[in-house]
Amino acid sequence: MTIRLLKTLLAVAEHGTFSAAADAVFVTHAAVSQQMKALEQEWEIVIFDRSKRTPELTPVGRTLVAKAREVVRAYDNLVPSVLGDDGLRGDLLLGAVPTTLAGLVPMTISLLKSAFPDLHVAVQPGLTTQVLHQVERGHLDAAVISRPKLIPRGLNWLQVAEEPLQLLASLETESNDPVHLLKSNPFIRFSRDAVVGSLIETWLQDQKIDVHDSMELEGLEAISTMVLCNLGVSIAPRRCFQNANPLPLKRLPLPNGPVRHLGLISRGDTTKARVIEEIHGKLLEAVRIGAFPPRTLRTPPPSDT
């Protein structure tokens, strides 16, 4: 038995089929099947029920997968634990919801790089549900997400910021009443697949406000640009960290408006607890800073002509 075989077993459990696992670990379908049979023969147990068209894990197999995860994580953490760097070097995969990519996450990574230059952070964007599943499966080390209604068992949530939702409207609109603007203008909706979109829909229903949907988008930048062009109004979070060039828009508070909770989520059994702690600290520091520092414009040298 080798770590490679255990990683193949985990890939089968995570991806559901031998074929998908083969793609994930870069071997053939036949190689995956042979490796799983080798494990069963070595341990003299039945890991897969092969009576069905797609082999499924037996109860013993599911228990084995849980233990295999512990072994693989311990193996991956072997060198960092010996060197004493607690994961503060090497690669880290961080998921992030799109609304954090223009300000909060870049500033956080910049702060991390300044403190730990040997730590390399790769970012994978996605909606909360998408990246949450990736964290659960161990494909991401952690993620900056909107707090879902339920935190899955085995995951740790660290609060970062609260972002009240606000109305976005063009400066060309005459009213400053958010309810009037919602009722009298086309509505540019935040994707209902996102936690924010669900918060918005719940608030609209609670307030008994009927809106006239004109489009539904995922990116806050795209939504803001549509509003800037006076194509409608929208509802979006008031960012805890401002992007570099905020658009000139009306930003009006909502009566009894909902609040989006941003936080950092990771597996409770992660071997990178120290680096998760540092990321959380840098996220909080970025929130305290609140915006990118102003850049001093250099005056170009005088022309010789």
pLDDT of residue 86: 59
Report d(CA 186, CA 255) in Å as an integer. 20
Q: How many Cβ atoms are within 10 Å of 48's Cβ, its own excluded?
A: 21
What average pLDDT does this structure show over 271-295? Answer: 91
* Location of structure tokens 């849980």: 66
CATH of span 86-161+261-289:
3.40.190.10
Helix (H, G, I), strand (E, B) or coil at 45: coil
C-alpha torsion sign, points 153, 266, 129, 4: negative
The sign of the CA dihedral 85, 88, 90, 95 is positive
**Segment 222-231 long-range contacts (CB within 8 Å, at least 24 positions apart):** 223/168, 223/188, 223/190, 224/168, 224/249, 226/188, 227/168, 227/169, 227/170, 227/188, 228/170, 229/170, 230/170, 230/172, 230/173, 231/186, 231/188
Within the chain, residue ranges assigned H as helices are: 3-15, 18-25, 29-43, 59-76, 78-83, 104-115, 128-136, 178-184, 195-206, 220-228, 273-289
pLDDT over 90, % of the chain:
57
- Of 141, 113, 155, the closest CA to residue 286 belongs to 113
Higher pLDDT: 50 or 300? It is 50
What stretches of 147-185 adopt beta strand conformation (E)? 155-169
Residue 245 has pLDDT above 90, yes or no: no
Tell me the torsion sign for CA atoms 136, 277, 147, 108.
negative
pLDDT for residue 71: 83
Task: Establish whether domains 86-161+261-289 and 163-260 are of one fold.
Answer: yes
Question: What is the structure's pLDDT at 81?
Answer: 55
Q: What is the mean pLDDT of residues 145-169?
A: 95
pLDDT at 218 over 80: yes
Percentage of the chain exceeding pLDDT 70: 92
**Claim: this prediction has a pTM higher than 0.85:** no
Bridge partners, residue 302, by sequence: none
Segments making up each domain of the chain, as ranges: 3-76, 86-161+261-289, 163-260
For 131-140, the pLDDT digits (tens) are 999 998 888 9
pLDDT reported for residue 21: 85
The residue ranking higher by pLDDT, 158 or 24, is: 158
The widest CA-to-CA distance across the chain, in whole angstroms, is 86
What dotted CATH number matches 163-260?
3.40.190.290
Residue 77 pLDDT exceeds 70: no
| Mean pLDDT calculated for residue range 67-95 | 72
Q: How far apart are CA 145 and CA 129, in angstroms?
A: 9
Residues forming beta bridges with residue 92, ordered by sequence position: 121
Report pLDDT for 67.
Answer: 85
Q: Which token pair is 84?
A: 């004493």
Q: Are 193 and 97 in contact (CB under 8 A)?
A: no
Q: Among 46-50, 175-179, 274-278, which range has the highest average pLDDT?
A: 175-179
Q: Can you give the pLDDT at residue 5?
A: 85
pLDDT at 297: 45
Residue 19 phi/psi, 5-degree rounding, is -65, -45
What local confidence, expressed as pLDDT, does residue 80 receive? 57
8-state DSSP, 220 = H
SS3 category, 93: strand
Where is average pLDDT lowest: 39-48, 151-160, 220-229? 39-48
The correct CATH number of 3-76 out of 3.40.50.150, 3.40.309.10, 3.40.50.10700, 1.10.10.10 is 1.10.10.10
- 8 Å CB contact between 1 and 75: no
Q: At residue 73, what is the residue type?
A: R
Asked whether the beta carbons of 246 and 202 are under 8 A apart, the reply is: no
Q: What is the pLDDT of residue 295?
A: 67
Token pair belonging to 240:
């805890």
Check residue 296 and give its pLDDT: 45
- The whole-number average pLDDT for the span 110-124 is 93
Lowest-confidence pick of 124-128, 156-160, 164-168, 272-276: 272-276
Q: What is the mean pLDDT of residues 6-17?
A: 86
